[in-house]
Structure 1
C-alpha cells in the first residue's frame, strides 16, 4: 500500500501517528485518526482501516459496530514519515454523527461532486428503466446516450452565446450528467478523462 511501517517515526508521537482519512474518489477529507504500529499492520493485512482510539485506549476497526467500514485503497506517508494519508472507499458515513465527513456536514464539496454523481449513476444502472431516466438511457445503449450528449452540448452552446448565467449553469449541468452517463455506458469513468488531461499537462512557457 505504498508504505513501509519500518520507516515511519512512531516515536515522535509517543507511539502514535496521525492519519488523515480521505475519500479515494471525491478526495473529501473524512476524518483524522491515529494509528500505532499494530493498527497499521492490521490495516495493511485486512485492507480495512484500523485505528488506535486514545479515548478507549486500544485498537478499533472502523465500522465494527455500525458497518460503516473503510476499505483502504492506498496509504501514503508524508515527507517526514510521521503522518499518513489513507485513501479509502467508505461503506457509509465516516462520522459517528451520521455525516459523510467529520469536518462539516457538506457531502463531497467542489469537484468531488463529479465522483459522487458517478457513484449515483452506477447505482441507478441497476434500477428499473421504467422509473429511472439513468437506467433507461443505459439500457438504450451508448449511441442513444451519445445523442443526448450532442443535444445537451448544443443547448449549452446556445445558452453560452446568448443566455443568462443561470441558464448556462443549468445547461452545463445537464451536459455533465449526460457525459458521465455516456462514460458509464462505454465502461469508462471520468478518471479516464482526467488521465488524458494529466498527460497533456506541461509547464507554462512565455509563448503560452
Structure 2
C-alpha cells in the first residue's frame, strides 16, 4: 500500500499521476492528483484526479463509464510522482482512443525493437478484452463474442485455411494479411477461453530457453 504521507506535492498541492494499463503496461494518461483525490483513489480503488482547468475533483469515467479499476499504486524514488496501475473499462482518452498518447511524434525503424512486436499484440489483447466487457454495438468483435465459441472456432479454421492457400500461392501480401487475421481471431479465442497472451508467451520463452538437446519436434 502506498504511504500517502510520504507523497510530495508541489507548491500548488498537486502530484503528477501516470496511469498505466496493468496488463499491457501501456501508458494511458498523465493527470494530476491533490491530497483528496489521492485518498479517494485509494479508498474507492478507482482513479480520481484534480482538474487544473476546472479547479475541481473528477472521477474518471463518471460520465463516460470508462472507469479505471486500480490494481496497484506506487510513487517514484523522489516521491514526487505517482504511478497508478489500472484495469481500464474502456478508452482512456476523451477522443475515444485506448490511450491519450496516440499521436506519434517519432517512431523507431521497423523491426528495431522486439518489444514493439509484443506491444501491438498486448494492445490488441486489451482492445479485445474491453470489447468482451462493453460489447459496443456494431463491433465485429462484439459479434464474435455474442455468437459464441463455435463461431469463433469456425473463423479460426477459415483464417488458417486462408493462410495455407496464400502460402501455397507464394503471395506475400496476401499471406501477411491472412496471418494478421488469424492472429486476431486466435486472440479472440484466447479471451473467450480466459487464456492470457502472457501465458502463451511464457510457453514460447520456456521452449526457447531449453538446450538444443532438450528440444522436441512438435
What TM-score bracket applies, with the shorter chain setting the length?
Answer: 0.5 to 0.7
For residues 53-92 of structure 1, the aligned pairs below 5 Å read 53-92=51-90
1:51 is aligned to 49
2-side partners of 1:198 and 1:36: how far apart?
Answer: 42
In structure 2, runs of 5+ residues without a counterpart are 105-118, 136-141, 210-218
Task: Say if 1:137 and 1:170 are closer, same or farther in 2 by CA, change over 3 A.
Answer: farther
Deviates more, 1:37-46 or 1:160-169: 160-169
Considering only aligned residues, what root-mean-square deviation do their CA atoms show, in Å? 3.6
Q: Does 1:116 align with 2:127?
A: yes
Give the superposition deviation at 1:34. 0.8
Give the superposition deviation at 1:150. 6.2
1-side partners of 2:7 and 2:62: how far apart?
Answer: 26
Deviation string for 1:125-158 (max 9, x for gaps)? xxxxxx94554450x39xx83x865664565366
Task: Say if 1:55 and 1:133 are closer, same or farther in 2 by CA, change over 3 A.
Answer: closer
For residues 163-182 of structure 1, the aligned pairs below 5 Å read 163-182=170-189
Task: Say if 1:122 and 1:198 are closer, same or farther in 2 by CA, change over 3 A.
Answer: farther
**Matched length:** 188
TM-score by length of 2: 0.65
1-side partners of 2:35 and 2:132: how far apart?
Answer: 39
Contact 1:122 1:184 in 2 (8 A): no
2:6 is aligned to 7
2:114 is aligned to none
2-side partners of 1:42 and 1:154: how far apart?
Answer: 52
For residues 34-45 of structure 1, the aligned pairs below 5 Å read 34-45=32-43
Task: Say if 1:6 and 1:174 are closer, same or farther in 2 by CA, change over 3 A.
Answer: same
1:30 is aligned to 28
Task: Say if 1:201 and 1:19 are closer, same or farther in 2 by CA, change over 3 A.
Answer: farther
TM-score by length of 1: 0.67
Give the superposition deviation at 1:43. 0.2
For residues 79-158 of structure 1, the aligned pairs below 5 Å read 79-104=77-102, 110-111=120-121, 112-120=123-131, 132-133=143-144, 135-136=146-147, 138=149, 140=150, 145=153, 149=156, 152-153=159-160, 155-156=162-163
